[in-house]
Structure formats: C-alpha cells, structure tokens
C-alpha cells in the first residue's frame, strides 16, 4: 500500500463559465455565485439530480445525490486531448466546463475528497475525475465541420480519458471570480488493495 | 503514479445501530431506513450540517454539505484499536457507529468515491476515513472505570487512527437490514503527486 501525505498548495481561477440557458454548452461569465445547491440557475444545480448513462447501476431517472454540480478543467490537459484527436483545440465552454484552473499539475488526477478553498469565498469538494462522453464529443465535432462528426464525437471518450478534469460540489457557498487564489487541500492518499 | 484498477466485490451487513435520542451513542436496530437526508430521525441526518472541530478551516457552526450521514466500522479493526489501547473491546455503539460491515479487508482504507450497493436496497457513497476523536474516546473510557479516563480518551485518536472506519452519505434511498449482501464498487485508484 502506497502512502502519500496530505498536502496544501496554491492555484488560481483562470476563467469561469455557466450554462444558464439549459443547454450543455456553457458561456463565459464574470463571476460565479455558488450555493450549497451549486451554481445559481445552472442546469447542473441541486442537492439531488436524476441518474443517467453515467450510473448504469440505477434505472435512468433515479433521484440520487448530486455530486456533479460543477465541472473544472485545465487548459493543458484539454490541449493534450485535442492533439490526440488531431484538432486545434477544445474550448472549455464546448464541453460545458464551469471553471478553468491554473497552476495544478495533473488536475484530472487530483484525488476525490480534495478541498478547493477559494480566497474569501466558497469551498468546492472534489468528487473525482469526470469521464469524457460522446455527447460532449459531438459538441466538439460541431466546430470541426471538415471532420467525420461521429468519429470525432467518439474519439473524445477515448482520447480525453484522464484529461477531462474534475466534478465536484459546493461545500460552502460564496462567490468565485477570475484571478482568485485557490488553496487546494489534498487528503492523505493510499492504494487500497483489499 | 501507482494505478490500481476499479474492482467490485461482495460484503455483508453484520449489524446496525442508530442514535435516535440525540446522543452520540447509538443503539442496535433491526433495520435502517435511509433517505437522501441520511438515517431518518438520526442526529447526523440532513443534506447539510454545521461545521465543528473536524473543519478547522471554517468558523464553528458554518453550514456545509453533510458528507457524514452514516458511520461504518469493522469489528476486526476495532479489535486492533482495542488491543493498542489495552482494553478488552470497543463496541460499535459506544463510538456512535451505524453499521458493522463484514467481509471487507482494511475497511478504513477503502477509497473515497467507493459505492456500497445494498441488495434490493439503497446505495451509500463513501466520503472517506473517519478520524477518531477524543469525544468518542471519552465514551469508550466510561466502560473502563479502572483506567485513567482522560488518558484513555486521548489514546483513542492515536491508537485508532486508520482503524475507525468510514463515513459516507446516502446516494439512493432504501432499507438496510442485517445479513443483507453489499456489492462494493471501488473506483480506479492512483497516487497524485503533483
């Protein structure tokens, strides 16, 4: 069993997005007001949500706890995924991201239970890695009309695995703004081999 | 970065407890009805809770998301802690546990984001390891009147670290009963060294 100590380090909010019109595509915003329900007015808000394709163990539409209030990505990781898909870029808003964080190595691998303390603001707790899906892939494909749209949509789940950032929920309410410092508290880690 | 694949295995509910009188001590129950708020009528219920000594980063009493709806322990681990404290045993109800699980090696090290699917019943999602505190230690000490109560209370946080089980929340409602099979789904694991 590998053990790795808890640690704290600083990162920064690079940019913010919200999907307030009920679509899966987000748009840049100047700030994000978050409550314990998530982003005010966002389609992913709520203390609970209904299950979908990510929870094949539940009948579709089962009410469950909402651990996916926010989506957080890293520009470097999306660039790696874009290169693997042989496209110029993947914009955070195409895949419905809410936040681009700067200053985090291997953001997508930050462990579950990590806490993100926003300076003078809210806290987000990390559920874990966000699995890339073909629906987000289809929204990327719309920006590359010269490519086979179905093939490009399906490439996203394969090529962006481990690079699509994190999902999490609001632990404490507040306001998030670009440029804000974020203290990231990573819990002690180990590999369970039981 | 160590990688360990996702896995599924079977465990079993050994016994159940609830603290319905508002105290920190639980008592055996024949079943647990759980909703998305946690155990019906339990002091640890609710979608949110107020922060305490476990969250030194918040002013005490801050409303935050409740990730501690249930406490799950393993008899083998509590026996190891009891031996280290030089006492006969630690009963699950003394430390306010809600469930004893059988058939899980190193229960306390089961990773955050693990899912516990109860047969024909609810799902519990694991927040992570429960840190032993001196207040639970004091309740253990009450059962060993021949020992120095303060020393024994303080021994619990030291000797039971990594052995005090898990906390988690209800992901899907239902009823839990002793003898029920539990399928435990452990996510892919890695050590983040960023």
Q: What mean pLDDT, rounded, does chain A reach?
A: 96
CB contact under 8 A, B189 and A186: no
Name the band, by pLDDT with cuts 50, 70 and 90, for residue A126.
very high
CB contact under 8 A, A2 and B169: no
Other C-beta atoms closer than 10 Å to the C-beta of A122 total 19
- Write down the pLDDT at residue A40: 84
The percent of chain B in helix, strand and coil, each rounded to the nearest 5, is 20, 35, 50
Alpha-carbon distance B88 to nearest alpha carbon in chain A (angstroms): 26
Mutate to test the interface with A, among B7, B45, B67, B113 (most CBs of A within 10 A): B113
Q: What is the mean pLDDT of each run of 10 residues along chain B (194 residues)?
A: 87 94 87 95 92 96 98 98 98 97 97 97 97 97 98 98 98 98 97 91
At A130, list the tokens.
Answer: 């966000």
Does the predicted TM-score (pTM) go above 0.90? yes
User: Distance between CA atoms of B6 and B84, rounded to whole angstroms?
Assistant: 33
Angle CA(B65)–CA(B69)–CA(B75) in degrees, nearest 5? 140
- Write down the pLDDT at residue B1: 57
DSSP state of B37: T
Closest CB from A1, A65, A105 relative to B169: A65
- Write down the pLDDT at residue A162: 96
- Write down the pLDDT at residue A46: 95
Closest CB from A110, A127, A194 relative to B104: A194
Q: Kindly identify which residue of chain B lies nearest to residue A116, measuring between CA atoms.
A: B57
Contacts of B113 in chain A (CB under 8 A): 112-113, 127-128
The H-or-E segment that residue A172 falls in is strand A166-172
Write the DSSP assignment of B126-142 as a string of letters. Answer: EEEEPPP-HHHHHHHHT
Write the DSSP assignment of B72-100 as a string of letters. Answer: EE-HHHHHHHHHHTTSS---GGGGT-SEE
- Write down the pLDDT at residue A21: 74
Query: What SS3 class is residue A130?
Result: coil
Cα dist from A169 to A37, A124, B37, B58, B120, whole Å = 8, 6, 16, 17, 28
Q: Calculate Rg over the CA atoms of chain B.
A: 17
- Write down the pLDDT at residue A2: 58
What ipTM goes with this model? 0.95
- CB distance from A37 to chain B under 8 Å? no
Contacts of A2 in chain B (CB under 8 A): 2, 191
Contacts with B188 (C-beta within 8 Å, 6 or more apart), sequence order: B3, B4, B5, B6
Q: What mean pLDDT, rounded, does chain B reach?
A: 96
Residues B117, B24: contact at Cβ < 8 Å? no
Residues 93..122 of B with a Cβ closer than 8 Å to A: which? 104-106, 109-113, 115, 117
pLDDT, tens only, A152-169: 999 999 999 999 999 999
Contacts of A127 in chain B (CB under 8 A): 113
Write the DSSP assignment of A73-95 as a string of letters. Answer: E-HHHHHHHHHHTTSS---GGGG
User: Distance between CA atoms of B111 and A119, rounded to whole angstroms?
Assistant: 28
CB contact under 8 A, A112 and B113: yes
Name the band, by pLDDT with cuts 50, 70 and 90, for residue A83.
very high
- Write down the pLDDT at residue A154: 98
Q: How far apart are the first and last CA of chain A?
A: 10
Residues A13, A159: contact at Cβ < 8 Å? no
């Amino acid at each position: 069993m590998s053990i790795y100590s808890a640690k704290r380090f600083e990162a920064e909010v690079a940019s913010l997005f919200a999907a307030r019109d009920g679509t899966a595509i987000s748009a840049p915003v100047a700030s994000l007001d978050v409550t314990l329900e998530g982003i005010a007015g966002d389609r992913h808000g709520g203390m609970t949500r209904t299950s979908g394709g990510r929870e094949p163990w539940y009948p579709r539409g089962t009410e469950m706890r909402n651990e996916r209030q926010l989506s957080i990505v890293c520009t470097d990781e999306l660039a790696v995924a874009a290169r693997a898909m042989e496209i110029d870029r993947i914009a955070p808003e195409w895949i419905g991201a809410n936040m681009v964080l700067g200053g985090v190595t291997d953001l997508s691998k930050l462990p579950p239970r990590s806490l993100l303390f926003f300076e003078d603001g809210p806290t987000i707790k990390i559920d874990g890695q966000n699995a890339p899906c073909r629906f987000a892939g289809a929204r990327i494909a719309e920006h590359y009309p010269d490519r086979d749209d179905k093939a490009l949509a399906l490439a996203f789940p394969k090529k962006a695995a481990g690079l699509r950032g994190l999902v999490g929920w609001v632990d404490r309410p507040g306001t998030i703004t670009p440029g804000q410092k974020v203290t990231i508290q990573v819990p002690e880690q180990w590999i369970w081999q039981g």
